[in-house]
Structure 1
Amino acid sequence: MNTDKPEIRIAILDLYDGIANEGMRGFRNILERYKAEHGLNLTYEVFDVRRKAQVPGVNFDAYISSGGPGSPLDSEGSEWEKKYFRLIDKLEDHNLSNRTDKKHVFFVCHSFQLMCRKYKLGEINMRKSPSFGILPVHFTAGAQHEQVFEGLPDPFYTVDSRSWQVINSDYKRFDDLGMKLLALEKERPYVDLPRAMMAIRFTPEFFATQFHPEADPVGIKSMLLREDKKDEVINEHGEAKYKEMLERLDDPDKIALTQKTIIPNFLNEAILGVERVV
């Protein structure tokens, strides 16, 4: 690492509330790989938002806000959430000023749902059954020129793991706020239920997915091979679904491609003003 290069500081907002997960390892894996590939002086710091009410200041170059367990509604008014949204408001105000050092934020799953509640973009409710698997995500027309998705096919595959969802997009609200709905969950022609929103660009600097672009085959496979998780998936979704997931993990054009594409593309945007990536 060349320490003569400008330091790039990334804040990881951990919303897992102390629950064991693969997400945080996935983020670290992506950042370490990105740092090595581009020879960057890049550091990151983790903030335990829900369990310890820790939030960073606005002095980081980019922010990644994780998924997490539980309801995205029940935390309304909690101390940690007040601090979290105060940070988001500060970052938003910073970006609306005439400063050139814009602050980019990537929101994942639980964070996506919190932000949709903040902006009142749709209906948030609990799914009839949890969504868990390596599933296709489809682009909307609005994703045609989206740089974060550059290099992905339509549909692309990713890890979807959630009991809650954001549905019934308020398109007028999207238009009024200048936001773009970029992706929807898999098509279900035989199910008469609305499809969940899966990716949104809130602002030029704020990007969010309701799926997990940080997930990688190694982490998901190690989790699925645990007897307790294997039994849980088979009981909930059936043995055929379990086998399909293991097969999809070995396909380099599915979640491995997504993990190598989406967050690195976001980082390209986020740090361009700090260190031009080549």
Structure 2
Amino acid sequence: MRPTKQHWKVAVLDMYEQVPNEGMRCIREILTSYARIHALQLEFHEYEVRVQQQLPDLSYDIYISTGGPGSPLDSEGSEWEQRYFRLMEDISEWNETAIDKKQLLLICHSFQLMCRYLGLGNVCRRRSPAFGVFPVHKTTAGEQEQVFSELPEPYYIVDSRNWQVIELDHQKMDAIGAQVLAIEKERPHVPLERATMAIRFSDYCLGTQFHPEADATGMRMYLLQQEKKNQVITNYGAEKYHSMLEHLSDPDKIMLTHDAFIPAFLDNAIFKRPLLQ
């Protein structure tokens, strides 16, 4: 299958608020690798949204909005957030009429912001932080999602969050045509609702609670930090901590998600592959 054109523009919306992170490195590397593999002229630019209030225009084909620190509630009404959602609305309006659609990927913090903005569920703080390598499960809709087609059931992800999306408003979801694609792993001993881990908001907007860009190198660095090590052991136990480290060396765990997820999202935009198998 041939791309519809050779030159593509990607806007990366940096939501990290100038906090050191591995996410931006991973996204840069994925985009660079994808362009090389497919012999594309893939031009990408980064915009620091929350501090410098930088935002792209509508000249881009693809938009990736990253994870980031802090509360997805406290920024409501802020100037940067108003401008951010104005861009989201502009992209949505463009896609209603234009022939060449713009694809949007929302990661972690961006996903939570969109769920709150659309009123799709309860965006709330977790009882304890989630950090580590965990399995997540596809829903029936997720089984049909093209971006998930190379991922097994369950598939493994990097989770790093203090917040979650639960108690979905299914009437609002149905009204905009949104579908839940993945949910948190089942914990029979924990009497809590399983968090939503991925939503297709529309044909042109996909969001994940997890970090599909995360790689073993960055995750290993985090897990070896004493603070993160203590956090995982306190919440999940030493056995789980060592299991997470072992999973980093397994090509069928987070590296499979890293290698398959965002490239499949890009395939959908660039090669116009169908959303449903």
Shift of the alpha carbon at 1:71?
A: 0.6
Shift of the alpha carbon at 1:229?
A: 3.5
Letter of the 1:16 counterpart: Y
Shift of the alpha carbon at 1:194?
A: 0.6
Residue in 2 that maps onto 1:203: 202
- Alpha-carbon separation, structure 2, partners of 1:128 and 1:103: 37
Q: Which string of whole-angstrom CA distances, capped at 9 and with x for unpartnered residues, describes residues 8-62 of structure 1?
A: 1100001010111111111111111101111111111110001111110011010
- Alpha-carbon separation, structure 2, partners of 1:233 and 1:26: 23
Residue in 1 that maps onto 2:275: none
Q: Number of residue pairs matched?
A: 268
Contact 2:166 2:195 in 1 (8 A): yes
What does 1:103-252 align with in structure 2 at a 5 Å threshold? Answer: 103-252=102-251
Residue in 2 that maps onto 1:254: 253
Residue in 1 that maps onto 2:54: 54
Residue in 2 that maps onto 1:17: 17
Residue in 2 that maps onto 1:276: none
Alignment of 1:36 onto 2:60? no
Residue in 1 that maps onto 2:66: 66
Unaligned runs of 5+ in 2: 273-277
Contact 1:62 1:105 in 2 (8 A): yes
**Which secondary structure state, in structure 2, belongs to the residue aligned with residue 174 of structure 1?**
helix
**Which secondary structure state, in structure 2, belongs to the residue aligned with residue 245 of structure 1?**
helix
Q: Which string of whole-angstrom CA distances, capped at 9 and with x for unpartnered residues, describes residues 207-231 of structure 1?
A: 0000000001111112222344334
Contact 2:111 2:208 in 1 (8 A): yes
Q: Which string of whole-angstrom CA distances, capped at 9 and with x for unpartnered residues, describes residues 72-107 of structure 1?
A: 01000001101100000000000001x211010000
- Alpha-carbon separation, structure 1, partners of 2:182 and 2:6: 35
Contact 2:17 2:69 in 1 (8 A): yes
Shift of the alpha carbon at 1:141?
A: 1.2
Query: Identity over the aligned pairs, expressed in percent?
Result: 51
Contact 1:62 1:271 in 2 (8 A): no
- Alpha-carbon separation, structure 2, partners of 1:32 and 1:96: 30
Contact 1:197 1:210 in 2 (8 A): yes
- Alpha-carbon separation, structure 2, partners of 1:40 and 1:47: 22
Q: Which string of whole-angstrom CA distances, capped at 9 and with x for unpartnered residues, describes residues 181-210 of structure 1?
A: 111010011111011101111111000000
Shift of the alpha carbon at 1:235?
A: 4.3
Structure 1 runs of 4+ with >4 Å offset: none
Shift of the alpha carbon at 1:7?
A: 1.9
Letter of the 2:77 counterpart: G
TM-score by length of 1: 0.93
TM-score by length of 2: 0.93
- Alpha-carbon separation, structure 2, partners of 1:169 and 1:146: 20
C-alpha RMSD over aligned residues? 1.3
- Alpha-carbon separation, structure 1, partners of 2:134 and 2:64: 23
- Alpha-carbon separation, structure 2, partners of 1:20 and 1:12: 16
- Alpha-carbon separation, structure 1, partners of 2:185 and 2:12: 29
Letter of the 1:172 counterpart: Q
Contact 2:132 2:232 in 1 (8 A): no
- Alpha-carbon separation, structure 2, partners of 1:231 and 1:88: 38
Shift of the alpha carbon at 1:176?
A: 1.2
- Alpha-carbon separation, structure 1, partners of 2:149 and 2:20: 31
